[in-house]
Structure 1
Amino acid sequence: MKKSVFTALAIGLGLSLTVTACGNSSNGSNNNSSSSSSKQINLTFFWWGNTTRDKLTEKAIADYEKLHPNVHITPEFDGSFSDYWQKLTTQIAGGNAPDIMQQDYDYINQYASRGALLNMAKLGIDTSNISSSVLNDGVINGNLYGIPNSLNAYALFYNPNLMKQAGVQINSNTRWTWSQYANVINQVHTKLGIYGADDPEDYQHFAMWARQAGQSLYSSDQKSVGYTASTLENYFNYWAQLRQTGAVPNGATMLAHKMGKSTDLFDTGKVASFIYWSNLYGSLNKATSQPYQIMLPPAAPGQNEGLYVKPSQFWSISSTTKHPKQAAEFVNWLLNSIQANEDLGTERGIPVSSAIRTAMEKTASPANKAQFQYMDKVLSVAKTPLGPPSPPASDQILSAFTTVLGELTYNKETPQQAVPSFITQANQLLSQGQ
């Protein structure tokens, strides 16, 4: 369920560039509001996400239109993350790009480099309550091509009932090492006959592992990978060994799960834990009968802190929009209006505005309050910058990484066989600037 129904990506402590906060007060209104004009303005707004996100975002659109009767916003959304980018690319190529769009850390550089995004630094959007380090995550070559909309970080989700049944002790200060987590996963499997964890392997998850080793996904000039072959091999071996014991699902089980052809592993209590983006917390506990709680993901003793804060997404504006002023006013409202953020909730993550976070936390539901508290923990340990947005070749590298994972989970290749060819392919793509 979490990977097929809840598509969530996730805010960083980013670049060294500085963007001057500009615009208006934090109530989300502009001095020259579009509501002062009787001319009808039509905007399109495109995002990816699950049905929960769709309903929440449509509620925010409806409330904005009530405040601005002359503005009509057409919602467009896609439940598939990969399909979203294919559709967006097609729209841009065809000259009908959405006025406002959701952007992702791994893709924003591609669209900015193609000239598809508008520099938002001088559009009157109030960024005064967004820290400069967070805001700079949307800066590319000195231009603000995306404003982060929320804070997100990896979390270890666990089912407290299943952990207790397996004899695993967890308290508010518990943080396992990777070795301890492997022991827990195997203990759950041995005691209960279920999976101790699902298989979280993906390129962004590996980024956390690489950061613990003092490395990164990409080199500083983004012309090659920023990690060693042994670091990637160790990562693959960790999960391969857990598949061998049966403590995490094999390739066939995970494929059936992702394709929706098996009873959901999480709702039926067949998985005791998993690592994923923290913004899943509220939606997960609404959609499943199994309770889950969150804690900090495993650490590597004696190494760096690998956990990082990431933009859940960015709000971006098309460079070809006919209504940049009105598009900016809507983005400003999404970022700085209490009403907008109450509509959106924490489904995308913790609001990026410090003023909004303070206001919302006072009346937050238990599930939302848990997310706020978790992010406070993350911010207390995740001190290193996230780094610049991913290079244009990142989508092809992500695809290649997924292919390698398929070979590994079906035991068609060993980590020792898969790593050299993958790194060679990734370096070729990066050196070509694709």
Structure 2
Amino acid sequence: MKRTFLRAGVGIVAASLALGLAGCGLGTAGDGASTELSDEPVTIRMYWWGGDARHQRTQEVIDLFEKKHPNITVEAEFSDWNAYWEKLATSTAGKNSPDVIQMDQLYLASYADRGALADLRDLDISTKGMEESVLGMGESDGGLYAVPISTSAMATFVNTDLLDQIGVPLPDNTDSWTWDEYEAWAQSVTQAAPQGVYGGSLAQNEFMLQLFARQNGDELFADGDIAIDPETVEAFFQLALDSTKSGASAPASTWAETSGLALDQQPLSVGTVATTFATATQVSAYSQASGANLELVPIPTVKGGEKDADYFKAGMYWSVSSQSKHPAEAAALIDFFLNDPEAVKIIGTERGLPAISSTLDLIGDDLTPEESKAVAFSDSRLPFLGDAPAIVPNGASDVDAVIVRYMQDVLFERQTPADAAKGFIADITQSIASAG
């Protein structure tokens, strides 16, 4: 796997979109919309998902932007993750999409390929200092439909306070530990911990499956289609089954009850697991929710697997709706979030490590201890980075939900890992074909 150093600091939509986007322009701004800033009063809408801390910081930046652009009014809209995509699909289908959209790579191709997003190369947004490999994660079918806000590495979060309480230290080889070693260690934690507390967690989303595939020299998607070997998916599901049966992680019933909970109710947050897998920049949220000291270490790897399997995922993106009547002002707002020094300082690492690496220098002195952990961890992963993977293709936006559904069948032993792997690939293949 070719190594590329990324110095950037690091479902439910498809049906609604299919019904409503036939009339959208194909990657162009709204009908007759000017790509030049207006001197007249302009109102644009900005939509994002997240918690209270994100809402507060984002609104502060909006207020600052309006002071510097007194003729532009920004109407803020936000919601939690699930409600976000339902509302965005509905508004887009109804030709009432927000001008500026916070986008995720799970949905980027679905919106871009249906003509719901403007090609940002036609607009004035500076991406100077952003690695081409990072910027490329905002491309779909030759156009740039999203600019990465941030990037983040996947980490194993470890509650060291819990480990101290039960007297089981982290092993010395976490920089290179294998999945087998992680499971054995997690078992020892479970055995030493109070009843109902477990050492390990399960890999159960697209990011983790991508990384697991890359460790095996495989890839999840390629050329707009699913590309992973069924044996790789089988091994991924088998890993989870072995972990629950050995006691390294919680049994299937507990997993099913907790897998969809909000972050502040998840097992790591309430102290019922010692470890979990999450993007490094979530350390602030998990630390606040758990009240515990959390250490970040690499995720386990396949024994003898690829050494450059890691990558920094584009945590989120900014996009401009192709329905926007004010694309120039929408682009100006995105550019302000990415490049204005005061805006960068306000946002900090709340959405991840800034995708434009030079802006990390602007926030270095203001980082909290938790944010500094995320930066240090991401820097430690630089020697292990490979090329960024292909984004989730159009039609596969619900890949996380499909993984969880088959994972549940495996854990409750309704399907074998091999059968679940075949079913998973068949479902994603069909979803992509149906969206084509």
TM class by shorter-chain length?
A: 0.7 to 0.9
Q: 1:149 to 1:264 in 2, by over 3 A?
A: closer
Once residues 340 and 283 of structure 2 are traced to their aligned partners in structure 1, the CA distance between those partners, rounded to angstroms, is: 23
Q: Which of 331, 338, 343 is equivalent to 1:340?
A: 343
Once the 2 structures are TM-superposed, how far is the Cα of residue 52 of structure 1 from its aligned partner?
Answer: 2.3
Once residues 243 and 63 of structure 1 are traced to their aligned partners in structure 2, the CA distance between those partners, rounded to angstroms, is: 50
Amino acid at match of 2:186: I
Partner of 1:167: 168
Q: Answer yes or no: is the 8 Å Cα contact 1:282–1:346 preserved in 2.
A: no
Q: Answer yes or no: is the 8 Å Cα contact 1:407–1:413 preserved in 2.
A: yes
Once the 2 structures are TM-superposed, how far is the Cα of residue 337 of structure 1 from its aligned partner?
Answer: 1.4
Once residues 416 and 387 of structure 1 are traced to their aligned partners in structure 2, the CA distance between those partners, rounded to angstroms, is: 24
Q: Answer yes or no: is the 8 Å Cα contact 1:48–1:102 preserved in 2.
A: yes
Once residues 265 and 402 of structure 2 are traced to their aligned partners in structure 1, the CA distance between those partners, rounded to angstroms, is: 28
Aligned: 1:298 with 2:300: yes
Secondary structure of 1:168's aligned partner = coil
Aligned: 1:399 with 2:405: no
Partner of 1:265: 267
Unaligned runs of 5+ in 2: 8-35
Once the 2 structures are TM-superposed, how far is the Cα of residue 116 of structure 1 from its aligned partner?
Answer: 0.9
Partner of 2:392: 390
Task: Calculate the TM-score normalised by the size of structure 2.
Answer: 0.85
Amino acid at match of 2:215: Q
Secondary structure of 2:286's aligned partner = helix
Once the 2 structures are TM-superposed, how far is the Cα of residue 314 of structure 1 from its aligned partner?
Answer: 0.9
Q: Answer yes or no: is the 8 Å Cα contact 2:154–2:278 preserved in 1.
A: yes
Aligned: 1:252 with 2:253: yes
Once residues 322 and 73 of structure 2 are traced to their aligned partners in structure 1, the CA distance between those partners, rounded to angstroms, is: 19
Partner of 1:417: 419
Once residues 142 and 392 of structure 1 are traced to their aligned partners in structure 2, the CA distance between those partners, rounded to angstroms, is: 14
Deviation per CA, 1:15-37, whole angstroms, max 9, x where unpaired?
xxxxxxxxxxxxxxxxx876xx3
Q: Give runs of aligned pairs for residues 151-190 of structure 1, distance below 5 A.
A: 151-164=151-164, 165-170=166-171, 174-190=175-191
Q: CA RMSD in A?
A: 2.5
Q: Which of 359, 362, 365 is equivalent to 1:359?
A: 362
Once the 2 structures are TM-superposed, how far is the Cα of residue 260 of structure 1 from its aligned partner?
Answer: 6.6
Q: Answer yes or no: is the 8 Å Cα contact 1:195–1:270 preserved in 2.
A: yes
Partner of 1:20: none
Q: Answer yes or no: is the 8 Å Cα contact 1:299–1:306 preserved in 2.
A: no
Once residues 71 and 242 of structure 2 are traced to their aligned partners in structure 1, the CA distance between those partners, rounded to angstroms, is: 60
Aligned: 1:191 with 2:192: yes
Partner of 2:90: 90
Q: 1:12 to 1:49 in 2, by over 3 A?
A: farther
Once residues 343 and 409 of structure 2 are traced to their aligned partners in structure 1, the CA distance between those partners, rounded to angstroms, is: 44
Once the 2 structures are TM-superposed, how far is the Cα of residue 68 of structure 1 from its aligned partner?
Answer: 2.1
Aligned: 1:369 with 2:372: yes
Q: Answer yes or no: is the 8 Å Cα contact 1:229–1:420 preserved in 2.
A: yes
Secondary structure of 1:319's aligned partner = coil
Q: Give runs of aligned pairs for residues 261-340 of structure 1, distance below 5 A.
A: 265-304=267-306, 305-340=308-343
Once residues 202 and 236 of structure 1 are traced to their aligned partners in structure 2, the CA distance between those partners, rounded to angstroms, is: 11
Once residues 124 and 84 of structure 1 are traced to their aligned partners in structure 2, the CA distance between those partners, rounded to angstroms, is: 27
Once residues 103 and 412 of structure 2 are traced to their aligned partners in structure 1, the CA distance between those partners, rounded to angstroms, is: 33
Amino acid at match of 1:317: V
Q: Answer yes or no: is the 8 Å Cα contact 2:203–2:209 preserved in 1.
A: no
Partner of 2:23: none
Amino acid at match of 1:101: I
Once the 2 structures are TM-superposed, how far is the Cα of residue 360 of structure 1 from its aligned partner?
Answer: 1.4
Q: 1:261 to 1:310 in 2, by over 3 A?
A: closer
Q: 1:263 to 1:122 in 2, by over 3 A?
A: closer
Aligned length: 400
Amino acid at match of 2:299: P
Task: Calculate the TM-score normalised by the size of structure 1.
Answer: 0.85
Partner of 1:202: 205
Q: Answer yes or no: is the 8 Å Cα contact 2:174–2:300 preserved in 1.
A: no
Q: Answer yes or no: is the 8 Å Cα contact 1:51–1:79 preserved in 2.
A: no
Once residues 358 and 197 of structure 1 are traced to their aligned partners in structure 2, the CA distance between those partners, rounded to angstroms, is: 35
Once the 2 structures are TM-superposed, how far is the Cα of residue 13 of structure 1 from its aligned partner?
Answer: 5.8
Deviation per CA, 1:352-382, whole angstroms, max 9, x where unpaired?
1122112212332222111111111122211
Secondary structure of 1:360's aligned partner = helix
Q: Answer yes or no: is the 8 Å Cα contact 2:200–2:249 preserved in 1.
A: yes
Once residues 376 and 202 of structure 1 are traced to their aligned partners in structure 2, the CA distance between those partners, rounded to angstroms, is: 23
Amino acid at match of 1:70: N
Q: 1:222 to 1:296 in 2, by over 3 A?
A: same
Q: Answer yes or no: is the 8 Å Cα contact 2:152–2:281 preserved in 1.
A: yes
Q: 1:177 to 1:256 in 2, by over 3 A?
A: same
Q: Answer yes or no: is the 8 Å Cα contact 1:250–1:410 preserved in 2.
A: no
Q: Answer yes or no: is the 8 Å Cα contact 2:176–2:300 preserved in 1.
A: yes
Once the 2 structures are TM-superposed, how far is the Cα of residue 122 of structure 1 from its aligned partner?
Answer: 3.1
Once residues 388 and 198 of structure 1 are traced to their aligned partners in structure 2, the CA distance between those partners, rounded to angstroms, is: 26
Give the % identical residues: 27
Once the 2 structures are TM-superposed, how far is the Cα of residue 199 of structure 1 from its aligned partner?
Answer: 2.5
Once residues 86 and 229 of structure 2 are traced to their aligned partners in structure 1, the CA distance between those partners, rounded to angstroms, is: 32
Deviation per CA, 1:188-228, whole angstroms, max 9, x where unpaired?
0011142102333123211111111111112x3334x3222
Amino acid at match of 1:163: L
Q: Answer yes or no: is the 8 Å Cα contact 1:52–1:283 preserved in 2.
A: no
Once the 2 structures are TM-superposed, how far is the Cα of residue 433 of structure 1 from its aligned partner?
Answer: 4.5
Secondary structure of 2:379's aligned partner = helix
Unaligned runs of 5+ in 1: 1-10, 15-31
Once residues 222 and 395 of structure 1 are traced to their aligned partners in structure 2, the CA distance between those partners, rounded to angstroms, is: 12
Q: Which of 378, 382, 387 is equivalent to 1:379?
A: 382
Secondary structure of 1:61's aligned partner = helix
Q: Answer yes or no: is the 8 Å Cα contact 2:49–2:84 preserved in 1.
A: yes
